[in-house]
A and B are shown apart, each in its own frame.
Chain A
Amino acid sequence: MKKSFLKKLSRNEMNDRIFSVVGLLATLLGVGVFLVLLADVAMDGLKRLNWSFLTSFPSRNPFDAGILSAWVGTVWLMAVTGAIAIPLGIMAGIYLEEYGKRNKLAGFIEVNIANLAGIPSIIYGLLGLGLFVRFLDLGRSVLAGGATLALLILPIIILATREALRAVPVSLREASFALGATKWQTLKYQILPAAFPGILTGIILAMSRAIGESAPLIMIGALAYIAFLPQQLSDPFTALPIQIFNWVSRPQHEFAVNAAAGILVLLFITLMMNGLAIWLRYRFEKKVRW
């Protein structure tokens, strides 16, 4: 009797031990694959990554081709996207968190934002095609592309802003109100500065998401072969992910190598941005002590 009791107990403990190993492996699986991916891309692309690759236009000859128009296009896109999405997103986030808490309309807006956050990026591409390219007649331009990506990341910035505002302690608001500050004064002088690192983190993550997006830009009609740089907002454009997609889709191995080199550049940018965001958040969390 006593023996079987002990035996059963140890079997349960054995399962527990086994799970702790399986769990560790499962958790590290993603990380492992990520490292394999990095190694694979680096092995293919590193040898192609040089100065002329960064400063050449695309070409039919894979050895002459570069990503100049691609990265310049990405810079243009991000400027447009940021200029639209950052102010709108922050203002919308402030409204929902600080002003609109009582009314039903704000609740409805909230549901709309939750829905937007879950819509696949390709649908934003269709939106951009229908709304910006055709209805507003912006053509297949940097402006249309940037505006489309802006709508795509708007929910991310709104949610990040709200979260950052929510993390500011009530006591700070009370202190400001009790001195006779208005709502906007309280926001401007106390709440927003305190929430700034959190909002910034959200903006960086949102922008890094936008940099990596390809599907909506393909819908908008970003072209892979652009042998000039955009001069104004109405010019056609290409972008890094588009160039990579184009090269991956070609059967010749040399173009795959180009794609890998382009991926290294793209990954460098997005991972740096994410690293920065994570570091900011970590620092911010440590610093808060009211």
Chain B
Amino acid sequence: MQKIIEASNLRVSFGKTQVLKNVSMTLHKDKITAIIGPSGCGKSTFLRCLNRMNDMYDNFKLEGAISFKGDNVYAKETDVIEMRRRIGMVFQKPNPFPSSIYENVAFGLRIQNINDKKILDEVVERSLKKAALWDEVKDRLGNSALRLSGGQQQRLCIARTIAVESEVILFDEPCSALDPTSTRKIEDLILELKKHYTIIIVTHNMHQAKRISDFTGFFHLGELVEFGETKKIFEDAKEKLTRDYVRGDFG
């Protein structure tokens, strides 16, 4: 097993509130890692640290280190733009751009000045196929993405990320705004994507973590309580807190 991202002694605060306390975690290539924990435990913050999405906030402060394939993500000379392309993200609420389905997928290429129609067509088709959306939208690529259903929008957001050839895809509770059928489709898709992508998924749904992930990390009050193989976390956790949580005693 090859490690791809490594977080060590991560301490994160927004203003005076400390959100993450000394978190260290190793993420493996081409595996699905689930991050679970009660709301407010810092799991989303952790995820957003991995591709520096928290940089947008004024009072964000981070200590410790995150490395991606050996490079320090927070180093001064890091090209944040390139790094974000390689570590893609799918958000809690589907957030397609208010443009056509086609342009949503093509956007990531266009900003790299790739405007060749042939290349774009090809990438759009391939990405939509990989995101299991092609058959549903192939006849109306010019339609507004905002007219798709919630589940379709979320798959479009995944296609968008695939199009820029991300190596890692971060999922921030991608199904929390979806109905069970759409959730199912996304889960199947994530399992399929695992073949080529490293996936990290934050979820408040323990069953989801259990169903799809290879590894699971349990966060509580800003600390990583336990991290290990999913089977072990759910059936034979070391910590009592973890056992209580996965049993549904709190959260």
Which B57-100 residues have a C-beta within 8 angstroms of A?
58, 81-86, 88-89, 91, 93, 95-98
The reply to whether A178 and B53 contact each other, CB–CB distance below 8 Å, is yes
| Nearest 4 A/B pairs, CB to CB | A180-B85, A171-B95, A178-B89, A179-B108
A182 at the interface (CB under 8 A from B): yes
Report the Cα distance A289→B95, complex, angstroms.
11
The reply to whether B111 and A185 contact each other, CB–CB distance below 8 Å, is yes
Provide the residues of chain A in CB contact with B107, threshold 8 Å. Answer: 176, 179, 181, 189
Report the Cα distance A21→B53, complex, angstroms.
54
Report the Cα distance A180→B98, complex, angstroms.
18
Report the Cα distance A201→B96, complex, angstroms.
25
8 residue pairs bridging A and B, Cβ less than 8 Å apart? A101-B58, A179-B107, A180-B83, A180-B111, A181-B107, A181-B108, A182-B111, A189-B107
The reply to whether B95 and A179 contact each other, CB–CB distance below 8 Å, is no
The reply to whether B96 and A179 contact each other, CB–CB distance below 8 Å, is no
Given contacts A189-B111, A290-B146, contact A175 B82 (CB under 8 A): no
Report the Cα distance A194→B108, complex, angstroms.
18
Provide the residues of chain B in CB contact with A182, threshold 8 Å. Answer: 81, 111
Known: A174-B91, A179-B111. 19 other contacts (CB 8 A): A102-B58, A169-B95, A172-B97, A172-B98, A173-B56, A174-B89, A175-B91, A175-B160, A176-B107, A177-B53, A178-B88, A179-B84, A179-B107, A180-B81, A180-B85, A180-B111, A181-B81, A189-B107, A290-B146
A190 at the interface (CB under 8 A from B): yes
Interface string of B142-166 (1 = CB under 8 A from A): 0000100000000001001100100
Report the Cα distance A102→B112, complex, angstroms.
28
Place the interface of chain A in its size category.
20 to 34
Provide the residues of chain A in CB contact with B96, threshold 8 Å. Answer: 175
What's the least CB distance linking A286 to chain B, in Å?
14
Provide the residues of chain B in CB contact with A171, threshold 8 Å. Answer: 91, 93, 95
Provide the residues of chain A in CB contact with B56, threshold 8 Å. Answer: 170, 173-174, 177
Instruction: Tell me the nearest residue of chain B to A182, going by C-beta.
Output: B81
The reply to whether B95 and A180 contact each other, CB–CB distance below 8 Å, is no
Q: Which of A170, A177, A180, A289 contacts B146 (CB 8 A)?
A: A289
User: How many residues on chain B are close to A (CB under 8 Å)?
Assistant: 28
Provide the residues of chain A in CB contact with B91, threshold 8 Å. Answer: 171, 174-175, 178
The reply to whether B95 and A174 contact each other, CB–CB distance below 8 Å, is yes
Q: Give chain B's interface residues, CB within 8 Å of chain A.
A: 51, 53, 56, 58, 81-86, 88-89, 91, 93, 95-98, 107-108, 110-112, 146, 157, 160-161, 164
What's the least CB distance linking A140 to chain B, in Å?
47
Report the Cα distance A13→B53, complex, angstroms.
55
What's the least CB distance linking A274 to chain B, in Å?
27
Instruction: Tell me the nearest residue of chain A to B112, going by C-beta.
Output: A180
Q: Which of B51, B58, B82, B97 contacts A176 (CB 8 A)?
A: B97
Interface string of A93-113 (1 = CB under 8 A from B): 000000001100000000000
Instruction: Tell me the nearest residue of chain B to A175, going by C-beta.
Output: B95
Report the Cα distance A101→B98, complex, angstroms.
26
Provide the residues of chain B in CB contact with A176, threshold 8 Å. Answer: 97, 107
What's the least CB distance linking B114 to chain A, in Å?
12
Interface centre among A175, A178, A182 (most CB of B within 10 A): A178
Provide the residues of chain A in CB contact with B93, threshold 8 Å. Answer: 171
Q: Which of A101, A172, A189 contacts B95 (CB 8 A)?
A: A172
Given contacts A180-B111, A182-B111, A189-B111, contact A175 B97 (CB under 8 A): yes
The reply to whether B58 and A179 contact each other, CB–CB distance below 8 Å, is no
What's the least CB distance linking A106 to chain B, in Å?
11
The reply to whether B82 and A190 contact each other, CB–CB distance below 8 Å, is no
Report the Cα distance A177→B97, complex, angstroms.
12
What's the least CB distance linking B107 to chain A, in Å?
6
Report the Cα distance A172→B146, complex, angstroms.
12
Report the Cα distance A237→B88, complex, angstroms.
58
Report the Cα distance A193→B107, complex, angstroms.
14
Given contacts A101-B58, A190-B97, A290-B146, contact A179 B82 (CB under 8 A): no
